[in-house]
Structures are given as C-alpha cells and as structure tokens.
Structure 1
Amino acid sequence: MQCPDCGDERTRVIDTETSADRMAVRRRRECQRCSFRFTTYERPEWDSLQVKKRDGAIEPFDRSKLRSGIERAVEKRRVTDEAVTDLVDTVETGLQNRETRIVSSGLVGELVSEHLRDVDKVAYIRFVSVYKAFSEPEEFLQELDAVLDAEVDDFEPADRPNT
C-alpha cells in the first residue's frame, strides 16, 4: 500500500476493524518512512456482477453510481447519510444474492425504489420519475396517487381526524 503523503510503499497496519455490516474492513496504516497515518477500507469487489442497461450495453456494477442516484433523490430531504449507505448496502446485497451475475438496470431501479419508498416518499417519487422515465404528467400523477393511497390505507380509523 502506497503512502498518500510521500508515495513510499513501506506502510504497516496499526489497527484493523470490521464494519457493522461485516462487508468492509477498516485499516489504520502508518508509513514507515514519513510516519503519516491514513485509513484504508477493504470491500470485496464483485467483478462478476454486471448491469445490463436499457440500450443493451453491459457494464460493471458501480456502487458509487448507485449511491449518487440515491443521493440526488434524497437531496434536501431529511435522510441521513447513514440511511443512504444502508440503502446502498441493502440493494448491493440483494443483487449479490441473485443466482445470475448479470442484472438489468430495471432490477436495480426496482430494488432501490422498493426500499426508498420506506425511507422517504418524496425521494421515492423523485427517483421513480427518473427511473421509469415518465413522459406524460398523467404517469407521474398515477404514481403519486398510488403513494398517497397507500398512505391513507396505512392510517387506522382511530388515527383519522374527525370530520
């Protein structure tokens, strides 16, 4: 491992810790030349997982691309960074647990929207409007009505205000 400060390759591990989801290893390192300390993260790279796009192109699964799409949806919403990380982890784990190594971008979108709906309904609407590529306002309204109807169904009769 190369030191980010001086570029020397002689570094040693000072401390190792497993992340809460047990999907990554955090290592504190120290350069033996300049004593600079830095942190590295090891995460298994699933080279075999590929995403088939709408146009038929196949590309490697990109966790950061998934995260940025979710972050755009939750922008200016009260969704913590930790909740975004958990969502990315959940989707990635769901994809890894599939028997196939090539998954459609549609499946990725379905998994994100399925979990994002529970996190924040506005972010969910933002996400599906891009993911489903609504071309007509009626399509957007249909999805919005479905979310609102589900919210009304979630109310217990005792929770409803007196009219």
Structure 2
Amino acid sequence: MFKKIRHKTISRIIEDNLDYLVRFAYYRLGNHVEAEDLVYDAVLKFLERDTDNIKPESIRLYLFRIVHNLCQDYSRSNKREFMSIEDYDVEGADDEALDLEDADRINACLDSLPSREADIIRMNVIDGLSFVEISGILSIPQSTAKSRYKSGMEKLRKLFIK
C-alpha cells in the first residue's frame, strides 16, 4: 500500500514539473525537441534509481539536477556554435511574452558569459528557481550561487552599455 502511494506521489511531482524541466533544458540546448527528449531521458534515469530513499520534497531538485547534468553532457558532446552578441539587435525589446526570437536573443547574450554564471542566471531569471534550489541543483553553496549571479549580471550590463 505504501509503495502505491509513493509511486502516485512521485508521478504527480514529475507531472507537475515536466513543463519546467523542458523549459529549463530548452534554454540550455536551444532546441525544443532535443529538450523534450533529454527530459524524457532524465525521468527514465530517475525512475531507474532506487527512489525509496529520496524524500518527496527533494524529488523536484533531484530531477533538475539530472536534467542539468544531461544538458552539460549534451553540450560537451555536440559543441554548439554560438553567435556573437554583436550579431543581435537587442534594442527595442518589450515586456511581452518571450517568443522564439527573444529566447534566441537571450541565449546569445547568456552564451557570451562563462557557463557557470549563465546557468545560474537562467535558473533564477528564466526558470524562476530560488538560490536555495540552485545551490541544491549545482551542489554549490548558496553564497557562491549569489555571487556568480551578481558577477554575470554585471558582465551583461557592461555588454549592453558598450
């Protein structure tokens, strides 16, 4: 009986977070289909593990951690080529919902930063994760996540001021 309830809880948590996980992967990979495939692989990896020892409140972070690691592996193996920030017209951006062109523009800006800073900015600004969640996903202290965020934002400001 307990296992059945646990499986329902895990299924609900996975289902509730699928869209967030796909968006998280999309902003790192730049391709929606690849992002969906990667999240599917992450969920399978998670379910293949012994989930009895994982607390329900940790499942969400655990899933984000798996997706993050798979994105890093994917990026290393495929060596995406990024356009320079100068190739994009970033002026005149409005506050409307992000479309694909906006997403590409944002990714180009973030890709000009060191990946450790860009990942934290993506996680906080785009994915809406707190610094506590980010530090759990990346296995770094919360203060390190905050300082990398601040450093990355300063670099972005300098890019736009030029």
Question: Do both proteins adopt the same fold according to a TM-score greater than 0.5, normalized to the shorter chain?
Answer: no
Higher relative CO (Cα under 8 Å, sequence separation at least 6) belongs to 2
Question: TM-score, length-normalised on structure 2?
Answer: 0.37
Structure that is richer in helix per residue: 2
Question: TM-score, length-normalised on structure 1?
Answer: 0.37
Larger Rg: 1
Structure that is richer in strand per residue: 1
